[in-house]
Structure 1
Amino acid sequence: MDPQDVEYEPVSVKEVLAEMKDTAELLIDLSYSAVLNGSDDIAREVLELEGRMDILQLQGRMSLLMASRSPEDAEQLAPVLGVMGAAEKISNAAGDIAKIVIEDIGMPDAIRTALPEAVEALVRATVDEGSAYANRTLLDINMETETGVRVIAIRRESATGKRRWLTNPGPDNELQAGDSLLLRGPRDGVATVYEAATGDAYEPTVAVDPPIEDLERAVDSITLMKDMSELAVDLAYGAVLFDSEGVAEEVKQLEAEVDALKSRFEAWTLRAASRVEDPVQLRGLVHLASATEVISDAALEISEGVYRGIDAHPVVAAAVEESDEVIVRLSVAANAPLAGTTLGEEMVKTQTGMRVIAVRRGRDEDGDEWVVQPGPETELRGGDVIIAKGTRAGSERLSELVGDTREFEA
């Protein structure tokens, strides 16, 4: 649909913001999945969702303009416009990544096969009519506990042919024949789930010899940029939800690190161009790095109002709370089951489906210390504050494990 076809109609800004947040996060996963799998179909879906984001942004902006009647309104609503614009920027970046596939922009096969070894496998599978998963809930299937694989999105087509994506499905969601699942997890687990869902054996991409000797450096840089950019987006929404300048500061630091990584990656690409027969095949790498850096820039824009001391409009926090994936901030009690244990020891992600994305702990007179992107070896201590992301049911379970039955007040 062209922009001129969109006319003003009363819409809930909160619902628009929630849908934009969920769609933007889905787009990041889908766009990388398109590149890793060389899939034109997934890439085209990314571009369709990007078009939907354009419409959402226009509708949201119109509603905000109608709501602003004074300088005070403008001051409060300006950060909301910033959040909308940032989500749109993430969408555009995902579209640019998808175009690497659609427009057949150069991408060495070696990096396509090497990337999956550096990140969790991201695969799409369609549920077959004879699958053991058909007409069963995710709770009944118990997929993540048994295989370590998570269904991060389900695409379902209605009887009328209309398609919709359900992001971050919960334990009560039932899988149906014909559902397209976006799976993320360890390679062995993905192979098991893929075969159970489709009835076909999973065939991973076959590694090929790299045309460049130190290609692993490029893989490491791209992977780290992707991880940092996704984390920055998560933390940015957390900063807005909890009005936390400390979290916003972490977003700023991550954005600066991604910028530095991109600069080093560009230098590597220029040097590598002299060592390959056809330097054009490196264009896709440049596009991928640039688009990933844009995502981190967008994260900074989401949290900029908080960082600059402008109170976020309540509608933004309400939208984050109502999105498919919730972000919670919890305090670890001294006698909690998780106090004194590591995230890996208690298998927090497997037990709850929640991803702990940051931990805050005191440093006496030096102030607070943030541990961003904690790993399985990260130990939780009494008095720590954690920020985690996942399902509502998972957040309740995590609250019990940390001994905090309420959302921590910022």
Structure 2
Amino acid sequence: MREITYEPRNVRDSLVELKDSSELAVDLAYSAVRGDDASLADEVLELESRANYLQYHVRIALMLAAKRAEEAKQLVGLFQVTASAVRITEAAADIARIVRDDGGVPDAVEYAFPDADERLVRATIAADSDLAGARLRDLELDLETGVRLIAIRREGEWSFAPKGDDRLTAGDVIVGRGPREGIEVVHRRATGEPVPAPAPPSDRAESEAIARAAETVVDLKDMAELTVGLAYGAARLDSDDLAREVLALEDESNDHKTRLETWVIEADDEVGSAAQLRGLLHLAAASAEICDAAVDIAEVVLREVKLPPVFGAALEDSEEGIGVVAVGSGSGLDGATVADLELEEGAGVIVLAIHGGDGWTFDPPADRVCAAGETLLVRGPPVGIDHLREIGGDEGESLSP
């Protein structure tokens, strides 16, 4: 276990890193399972170690900051959000260990994950790479390949939302998100090697029961990712509606977990090895744990615990921000579909929910049309959120649940 010595740290910076770490860990963990990728799994374990280190420092800083009972009431919410972010990261690490230590999951489940347009790439920059020593601004990877670097790990320290003036060095571990063709280019430029090809699916016939189990796993993944985004959104906007939806999703995740556990117990030897079936049990438990941790964040809102301004500022500064975008009448968003928004060049956002005359629509389908007067809850880079606000004619942040 890593020995931790307390060093004064900016609480806001630590909260930003914990929030970004938890979301990145979830993305990396499910991507590792999907591609049976041990290198992605290793990065999740690194994030877990870092999250525990940060939690220690945040706890001490918050205890030192509370001098009166009223201050302690405000800070207790930050204690809970911090602990929840760490729980999310630890649960993601449990998913990563399925790939690293437990033998993976049955092929039918691994190949059930949607073949998304965007993927994650992890690469270590070689000494002879043209990326070594270059500034991100000069490389223009996002323009040339469509890949946006979302994190850099250097000597055990993570940097989220790297800036244009940041310079890459040999030995840096980079994590980027982008199209399949783009990540192939970035990986080859960084390492000199192609992206490792995933193992081909086995010839084992897929039964209807296996297909249902695979669908349940994908549902658990989607619920885990959505609850995290909605929980941070609820805390950012102090929205009871978003918080209650997190609780409803957590109940649903428990039902899916029970269903998958029952299926594993009843499965025969042809489905997969004992290690792979055990991996499915671990995946179900860890996915439900992510949802449970998100509930702890949502409960801060439902208990009407007012989070101090530093928390909102932390979310604004994070690599994956949470923001609201108003759809103005006659604007570029009026009549656009969710797919249009998520594919909008220069945005790179995910639409978590839409608020309109009929209340909230959570995890809206790609063909859902946005209408004037509606408000979108989105997750993505701050510059992308601002870009959508400009298209929608939105001058500022507003929400009327």
Cα 1:236–1:362, aligned 2, differ >3 Å: closer, same or farther? same
Give a deviation string over 1:325-382, Cα, whole Å, max 9, x none: 221112211121211222334665434222222110013xxxxx21122233121111
Structure 1 residues 189-204: aligned runs within 5 Å: 190-191=183-184, 194-195=187-188, 198-202=191-195, 203-204=197-198
The amino acid of 2:24's aligned partner reads L
Question: C-alpha distance in 2, partners of 1:20/1:291?
Answer: 19
Matched, 1:92 2:93: no
Question: C-alpha distance in 2, partners of 1:258/1:409?
Answer: 28
2:225 to 225, 230, 239: 230
The amino acid of 1:386's aligned partner reads L
Greater CA drift, 281-290 or 48-57? 48-57
Give a deviation string over 1:64-115, Cα, whole Å, max 9, x none: 2222233322322221111011011112112212222332345334433443
Cα 1:153–1:211, aligned 2, differ >3 Å: closer, same or farther? farther
Q: Which residue of 1 aligns with 2:308?
A: 313
Q: Which residue of 1 aligns with 2:150?
A: 153
1:404 to 380, 391, 394: 394
Cα 1:259–1:342, aligned 2, differ >3 Å: closer, same or farther? same
Question: C-alpha distance in 2, partners of 1:224/1:185?
Answer: 23
Question: C-alpha distance in 1, partners of 2:89/2:236?
Answer: 21
1:213 to 207, 221, 235: 207
Please, what TM-score do these two structures have when normalized by structure 2? 0.86
Is the 2:125–2:131 Cα contact (8 Å) retained in structure 1? no
Question: C-alpha distance in 2, partners of 1:353/1:116?
Answer: 18
Structure 2 residue runs of 5 or longer lacking an equivalent are: none
Deviation at 1:252, TM superposition (A): 1.6
Is the 2:102–2:275 Cα contact (8 Å) retained in structure 1? no
Structure 1 residues 137-176: aligned runs within 5 Å: 137=136, 141=140, 143=142, 150-151=147-148, 153-157=150-154, 162-169=155-162
Is the 1:143–1:150 Cα contact (8 Å) retained in structure 2? yes
Question: C-alpha distance in 2, partners of 1:311/1:347?
Answer: 32
Q: Which residue of 2 aligns with 1:64?
A: 62
Structure 1 residue runs of 5 or longer lacking an equivalent are: 364-368
- Cα RMSD over matched residues? 3.1
Structure 1 residues 7-406: aligned runs within 5 Å: 7=6, 9-105=7-103, 107-115=105-113, 117=115, 121-126=119-124, 129=128, 135=134, 137=136, 141=140, 143=142, 150-151=147-148, 153-157=150-154, 162-169=155-162, 179-185=172-178, 187=180, 190-191=183-184, 194-195=187-188, 198-202=191-195, 203-210=197-204, 213-214=207-208, 215-273=210-268, 276=271, 278-345=273-340, 348-363=343-358, 369-406=359-396
**Partner SS state of residue 383, structure 2:** helix
Cα 1:336–1:103, aligned 2, differ >3 Å: closer, same or farther? same
Is the 1:134–1:177 Cα contact (8 Å) retained in structure 2? yes
Give a deviation string over 1:371-405, Cα, whole Å, max 9, x none: 12223312111110111122222122111111102
**Partner SS state of residue 352, structure 1:** coil
Question: C-alpha distance in 1, partners of 2:8/2:158?
Answer: 24
Please, what TM-score do these two structures have when normalized by structure 1? 0.84
Is the 1:23–1:49 Cα contact (8 Å) retained in structure 2? yes
Deviation at 1:46, TM superposition (A): 2.4
Equivalenced residues, count = 397
Question: C-alpha distance in 1, partners of 2:179/2:252?
Answer: 27
Cα 1:42–1:186, aligned 2, differ >3 Å: closer, same or farther? closer
**Partner SS state of residue 115, structure 1:** coil
Deviation at 1:32, TM superposition (A): 2.6
Q: Which residue of 1 aligns with 2:5?
A: 6
Greater CA drift, 324-333 or 287-296? 324-333
